[in-house]
Amino acid sequence: MLSHGAIWDAIDALAERHGLSPSRLARLGGLDPTAFNKSKRVSKDGRERWPSTESIAKALEATNESFDSFMAGSGTYEQNSSSNPGSSTVPLLGFAQAGSGGFFDSGGFPAGQGWDELRLPSASDGSTYALEVSGDSMMPYYRDGDIIIVSPTEQLRRGDRVVVRTGNGEVMARVLHRQTENSVELHSFNPEQKALTFNTKDLDWIARILWASQ
């Protein structure tokens, strides 16, 4: 599985390969110099902080490295996943198809026929799946053709990027802003779009976006 520690280890290894400190790597990618600092990796109350997909994408672009070479620096991934005995395949579906019936069970887990497969360079816990983005509705975070890795079993926290299925079958990707026993407030990736608030009973499920391959 993609872990908090593995992602940060990969960032440190990326910086080291290019003779940079984490802060200089962030600056090279056009980010705030503190974006990759160790102090930013855990909040004051002990919660793990994950780097954004956008910040990692900018660091990879600035250093001209691929996602595979980046994850190889985590110490838990190998660049050639086909030769990695710890690799696994997960179900893959086009995001546009996800709103159709028969692809998910009531808990948000893959079900039914029509799924393709995607090989991940590490073992999956059996609940992870992948959705392929189509169109530009998720810009600037996710582009057409990006693959987002999703888990319905991960704990949700404010600020997480999530995939949500409503009771009428609509599937959308949003940012979780607030969740209570009775309601869920979701923000769009596009700041110009209004936030959406749902009654909890009107949502089938919410699954956390773990990672994106861009």
Please tell me whether residues 126 and 27 are part of one structural domain: no
Return all residues near 73 (Cβ < 8 A) that are at least 6 apart. 9, 10, 12, 13, 14, 17
Please tell me whether residues 121 and 173 are part of one structural domain: yes
Low-confidence winner among 85-89, 137-141, 147-151, 180-184 (lowest mean pLDDT): 85-89
Final residue in a domain of this structure, among 53, 79, 105: 79
Final residue in a domain of this structure, among 79, 98, 113: 79
Please tell me whether residues 70 and 128 are part of one structural domain: no
Please tell me whether residues 107 and 74 are part of one structural domain: no
The total number of structural domains in the chain stands at 2
Chain mean pLDDT for the chain: 81
Please tell me whether residues 38 and 130 are part of one structural domain: no
Final residue in a domain of this structure, among 79, 105, 126: 79
CATH number of the domain enclosing 44: 1.10.260
For the stretch 63-93, pLDDT in tens is 888 776 777 665 544 444 444 444 568 888 8
Of residues 30 and 75, more confidence is placed in: 30
**pTM, to two decimals:** 0.57
Please tell me whether residues 101 and 200 are part of one structural domain: yes
Please tell me whether residues 71 and 106 are part of one structural domain: no
Low-confidence winner among 15-29, 68-82, 182-196 (lowest mean pLDDT): 68-82
Please tell me whether residues 90 and 184 are part of one structural domain: yes
Q: Which domain holds residue 205?
A: 86-214
CATH number of the domain enclosing 157: 2.10.109.10
Please tell me whether residues 201 and 151 are part of one structural domain: yes
Please tell me whether residues 142 and 53 are part of one structural domain: no
Please tell me whether residues 21 and 64 are part of one structural domain: yes
Please tell me whether residues 122 and 20 are part of one structural domain: no
